Structures are given as structure tokens and as C-alpha cells.
Amino acid sequence: MKKGISANYIVLPLALTLVLFQDLLGQSLSFDGDQDYVNVNTVASEMHVGEADWAVSFWVKPDLSSFPENDSYILGVNTSTGGNALHVGLKKDTGYPIVFEINSIHITGSTGATDQEWNHIVYSKLGYTGTIYLNGVSQGTHGAYHSLYNTHQWTIGGEYDSQVLSNEFVGLVDEVAVWDDDLTAAEVTALYNSGAPLSASTNAGDYTSQGDLQAYWLMNEGSGSTIADTTTNNNSGTITGATWSTDTPGSSSSTTTPDYKWFSSDSSGGPIYSWQDITSTGTQIPMSGDDQNTGPHPIGFSFPYYGTEYTTFRITTNGWISFTNTTSNLSNIELPDASAPEAMLALFWDDLHFYSVDRAYYYSDGSQLVVTFNDVRRYQQETTTSYTFQVILNSNGQILYQYNTMTGINVGWGATIGWQDETRTQGGTVVHNYSNYDLIHDGWAVRIEDINAGLAPPSGFTATASYQNVDLSWTASSSDSVTNYVIYRGTSSTSLPPLDSVASSVTSYSNTSLTNGTAYYYGLKSKSASGSYSVMRTASATPNVAPPTSLSATASTSQVTLSWTVATGEGVEKTFIYQGTSSSSLILADSTSDASTATKTITGLTNNTTYYFNIRSRADDGSLSSVTSYVEATPVYSGPVWWVSASVSTDGDGTSTTPFRYISSAITAAAEDDTVKLT
């Protein structure tokens, strides 16, 4: 979309929900419903005779109450004699997207386009199936039996039924694109959900249909009676009645006061800890000793922080960076505070010591800056402390603190983790001296973000794994303008491409057909009709077959009988049994023949030796569940014959090979009806 953000979206089984961006001056066309239309008949010659697969997308800002008829068509394709081929539009009373084919309406959506706001519509046809989407969400499919021919009439703003313009559209239209092939669901998702500038003229990410683009009218002329086709096909359109407007998708903006909050990796929906080692790829910052401040160092992009764009940073030996401050302040205090450094990010603010010059590094890829403090020590505690931590700045303004190893006693005592702005009046504290000091641990992360920078994100985002499946759930955003939730997924926490989009009424999602044993990372954002996104919430889970539970062990002579509750859920094939004489070294010893067996006797064991056992499920795809906690048991001789020999020097356990020395020991061990034998 040429304005740089997406708005409400509709897609029809030409499988795509495009977000078309162009870095051009924004214009659109206004239609008043009184003989306003654009003739784009020339595109018909680009469509193959009897075309089976094709797609179209456009942005619309409807004035629903002004529609002259209940069914209003934004794009109409008619035969040369005025018959109907296919029309795409909206219902006046509900705003539902509709698809009319040949003689009747085939699809009526279930979600209305937002009145007086920008919406995006895509229709995609693959074979005999057509689909329409509104704001990235499918509104239905139909059996599509129309064909396209080079004699057809193409109209923006209505349809030419029997050579008369009818079912006219009232509102604004912008960026119309036509392809002579379908658009895949992946293209729809990727292009609609993308937050980056994408154009239908350029392949990017999952969008690969640039070569199938037959017409692309950006409607940026701003004057005249012609809209130009930006493809090489030169399929210009002729305007009748419609007028130019500077109202375009994403052209409106709002101003809010920054409000930064922090979220921990230990809380639901918090960041996922994922350390970025830059000691070999980054630039070393040569500092050593005590109380130093160096810089400015390049960020590599423009970083927004409390309404100011910063391009450089400074770093101190005392565990903090600033965008402007040149001191090396060591006296940590709670933030915000007028006596603390301005424009400050306090990763671990304390009196620290760099015992060599290779203690700090930075690395920027142009959209993300990583600054690492590597094995720094507390002043005068150099032999008992070691801290490795980093800050990651993202070009969207998000801040992430990560703590790799934090060695020492009561690590947080005497330190501050927090942030504050240039004026020293706004900021926040995560840890200060004795307050929250015990939050800090190895593998911990803290995300700091401006919750007013966009929509309110969903909360309580969780991922629950089962067999080849992960179920996501969340609590709805508090923002009324949310129209969709965009779901992202990857097998790395640092790369989360778009996966799907669901309506704002949905608060759960099941991701199926996954690979057991693979860790999946998920992101979730709120999205508005105007194309604004919230910050991302994250969660992760590893699908697997369910493990058995309630393992117990009962010992007897030279054997141990194990019992458990069989695993529930899909895919369980059998149970694997692990055994060892050390709880830290258990190897596969046996297995059941099926999933329903819940007991197993392990024989041939050595009496008076302690054995450890745990078990796990094996799935029908060969994957393994997590193991249970171990149990232990010690087999002992239990008769019924007890042996005594005066020739041995020590008391045994009463077996024939290790007899008792004393008959009293045998009598004590024997049960009723047992036998004592002397040798």
C-alpha cells in the first residue's frame, strides 16, 4: 500500500489479501453513486481466453448509507452484451463483502467492512473455487464457473448490466491490481500482515506473483481523467464522473504520549530469552578499568525513544547506555530521577569494573542494534562476580534486555534495572537494590515498549503443546479499533514470519500437523482497520506425544515391578523403560508391546543394589515424549528358603550363595512357613 500501512482487508478466492505500499504522494478516487465509474476494459486483452485462475485486489473506504442499492459493486466484469461474469462488492445494510457470479450472489460474508474507513478486498479464483477475504480473514468460498474473455467489460465503481451502469459504489477507491493467476493463501497472509513497504510490482517474502500482474492502477495522478497502469501493459483507465481525493489508506494519524512498560520472560506473554552472541561478529568497544564513558557509537538506524529519534549511543563501564549523556555515573538510584543520566537505558546499573579491553561489543544490521557487556565484574568483587548481559534495540522502538550469566550472591542487591527519558521525568524501574532483586537469573529477558505506540496488544498469550499440535490462547486487546489478530510462527525465536490472521472476536487458535519434538515460537499482534499494529506478544511450545504418569516401583527378589498410568491423547504406540544404578545415567532397558500396557517386571537384577527407573511414550511417528521423574527400588532376597553357614565370616542375605552366618539372622528374616537350612 503506497501509504506505508495497511487498512481493512477483503480477499476473494483469488487467494490474496494484499497490503500494497508505494512511497508516492497519496491520492484516491471518489465515487458519488451518480454515474461515476472508471472504464478499464483494456485489461481484458491481458487475460487468457477462458481464464480459469485470476485475482484482483483494491482498497475501499465505503459510505454505506449512501449506496443507491443494497448491493454495491466495486468491480464489475460483464460480457460484451451486458451479461454478468463476476462482480465484487459490499452490502449496504451490513457492509458484508459479496461475490455475484452470472445470475446470483454466491458469497455473502459474515464480517462487515468498516464504514467510512479504509478496507482491503481481494478476490482470488483457483480452478473452480473462488475466495473472498476482508481484512485478511476469509469470508467464504464458492463454486466459480465463470470464464474471462478479451471481449469482457471491466468497470471500477459499478457494473454494466445490459449496457447500463448499475449497483454503483459510493466512497473512495485506491490501488487496484489484477493478476492472470490466483494468489495463494500464503501470499494473502504475508502481504496483508506485513508491516514492511510491499508493492504488487515487486516480489517480496511469500508474495511471488509479480510476474502475473497484468494491471496495477495506483491512482496517484491527482488530476485529469485517466488512471495509469504501472505495469508495462499500459492498460490505462478512463474516468467518468469520479473525482480526486487526498484521503488514502493510512493517511490519518494520531498523537499519543509515550507510555513505556516492562514485561519479563517469566510472565505469560513476555519476551522469549534468545541470547545473541556478537563477540565474534560485533565491534569491540575498547574500555577497561573503572568509570568510563565512550561514544558516540552508531546505532545503524533511527531509533525512536520518547518521541525523539536517536542515531547514536554512548556506553559506560557501569552497566548502562545513553543516547546523549557523557558521564560515567556509578551511583544507581530508582528511575526516573532528575539526578540520574538523561535518555538512559540501565541494563545493570552499578559500580562495575572492566578488567580487560574486550568487555563490550556492539553490532547493527540496520534494523536491530545489539550492545553486549561481556563478563564484567562488580568493583572490588572481581573474583566472586561475573555478569554478561545485553540490550537489543529494534527499529520499531522496542527494547529488550537479556541476561546470560549473572554469577554472584544476591545479584540484584545494589543495582538498578530500568530506563528514563531525556527530560528525566519519565521512566521506570524493574529492579532497584532490594526491590525485585531476586527476579534476576541466568537466561532472563525484559522487554520495554511504548504501549501507546500503536494498538494495545492482546494479553495472556499462551502456547500449549500436544501431539503434532499447539493450541494458542489469549485475552482480547483493550483497543476497540482492533479488527484482526495476526499470528506469527517460526522455529527460531528471532524469525517469526506471518502464519495466519483471525477476526478480533477470536481468542484461540489451533496450529495442527506440526512435527513432534520441534520447538515452535509464536507471535501475536493486534491489527486495526487502518493498518496499525500493536507490539508483539510471544510464546513457545514443543508438540509431543503425551508422557505416561504416576510411575511406581515395587522390589522383590532379583526383580522390580513397575506400574504407571498409561499416556492419554493421540499417537501413543508403546512405552519405553529406562534403567540404571545411578539416577543421572539411565539407558533404555525394555519396552511394552503396545500403548495400553501399564506394568512391567524387570528381572535378573542384583539383590541389595538400588536401581533407578523412568519411562516415556514412543509415538507412532517415532518421536518420544518427555521422561517421567525417576523412581528407585532395591531388590532383596525374600525366601522362602533361608541358608545358614557357620563357615562364612560375615552375615549374608540368606541366599545359598551368600548365607547368613548366624541362625538368629535367618529366624528373624523368615516368614511363617519359610524354611531355614544349615550347611
pLDDT (tens digit per residue) in 497-510: 888 999 999 999 99
Letter for the amino acid at 313? Answer: F
Assess if residue 5 is contained within a domain. no
Which is nearest to 662 in space by CA: 675, 674, 670, 650?
650
Q: What is the largest CA-CA distance in the chain?
A: 120
- For residues 82 and 212, membership in a common domain is answered with yes
In the chain, what percentage of residues exceed pLDDT 90?
55
The bridge status of strand 641-644 relative to strand 675-678 is parallel
Q: What per-residue confidence (pLDDT) applies to 389?
A: 98
Q: How many residues does the chain have?
A: 679
Global confidence as pTM: 0.41
Q: What per-residue confidence (pLDDT) applies to 209?
A: 82
| For range 199-224, the mean pLDDT | 80
- For residues 291 and 362, membership in a common domain is answered with yes
- For residues 279 and 428, membership in a common domain is answered with yes
At residue 268's C-alpha, the angle toward residues 265 and 270, to 5°, is: 40
- For residues 306 and 367, membership in a common domain is answered with yes
- For residues 506 and 583, membership in a common domain is answered with no
Q: Which residues contact 383 (CB under 8 A, 6 or more apart)?
A: none
Average pLDDT, the chain: 86
pLDDT at 114 over 80: yes
- For residues 413 and 465, membership in a common domain is answered with no
| For range 137-147, the mean pLDDT | 89
SS3 185: helix
- For residues 358 and 277, membership in a common domain is answered with yes
How far is residue 207's CA from residue 212's CA, in Å, rounded to a whole number? 11
Assess if residue 251 is contained within a domain. no
Letter for the amino acid at 513? Answer: S
4-13, 34-43, 454-463, range with the lowest pLDDT? 4-13
321 CB-contact burial (10 Å; exposed 0-12 / middle 13-18 / buried 19+)? buried
Q: What is the pLDDT of residues 84-99, one digit of tens each?
A: 999 999 999 999 999 9
* Set of cell numbers at residue 255: 498523537
- For residues 302 and 321, membership in a common domain is answered with yes
Assess if residue 587 is contained within a domain. yes
Assess if residue 253 is contained within a domain. no
CATH number, domain with residue 118: 2.60.120.200
pLDDT at 679 over 80: yes
User: To the nearest 5 percent, what fractions of the chain are helix, strand and coil?
Assistant: 5, 45, 50
83 CB-contact burial (10 Å; exposed 0-12 / middle 13-18 / buried 19+)? middle
Question: Which of these three, 407, 431, 450, is where a domain ends?
Answer: 450
* Domain extent at residue 556: 549-633
- For residues 22 and 100, membership in a common domain is answered with yes
| For range 39-63, the mean pLDDT | 87
Assign 5 a pLDDT band (cuts: 50, 70, 90). very low
pLDDT at 189 over 70: no
Q: What is the pLDDT of residues 618-652, one digit of tens each?
A: 998 898 998 999 999 999 888 889 899 988 888 88
Q: How many CA atoms lie within 13 A of 297 on its CB side?
A: 22
Assess if residue 278 is contained within a domain. yes
- Domain tally, the chain: 5
CATH number, domain with residue 512: 2.60.40.10
Beta bridge partners, 641, equal 675
Question: Which of these three, 400, 431, 450, is where a domain ends?
Answer: 450
> From residue 510, how far is each of 194, 435, 467, 536 by CA, in Å?
22, 39, 12, 19
| For range 49-77, the mean pLDDT | 90
pLDDT at 166 over 80: yes
| Highest mean pLDDT pick, 39-48, 471-480, 544-553 | 544-553
Which is nearest to 27 in space by CA: 1, 50, 48?
1
Assess if residue 255 is contained within a domain. no
Assess if residue 377 is contained within a domain. yes
- For residues 597 and 662, membership in a common domain is answered with no
- For residues 296 and 440, membership in a common domain is answered with yes
Residue that the C-alpha cell 523412581 belongs to: 631
Q: What per-residue confidence (pLDDT) applies to 197?
A: 34
How far is residue 188's CA from residue 125's CA, in Å, rounded to a whole number? 13
Residue that the C-alpha cell 519411562 belongs to: 615
Question: Which of these three, 199, 218, 245, is where a domain ends?
Answer: 245
- For residues 628 and 674, membership in a common domain is answered with no
DSSP letter (8 states) at residue 338 = T
pLDDT at 384 over 90: no
pLDDT at 66 over 70: yes
Assess if residue 648 is contained within a domain. yes
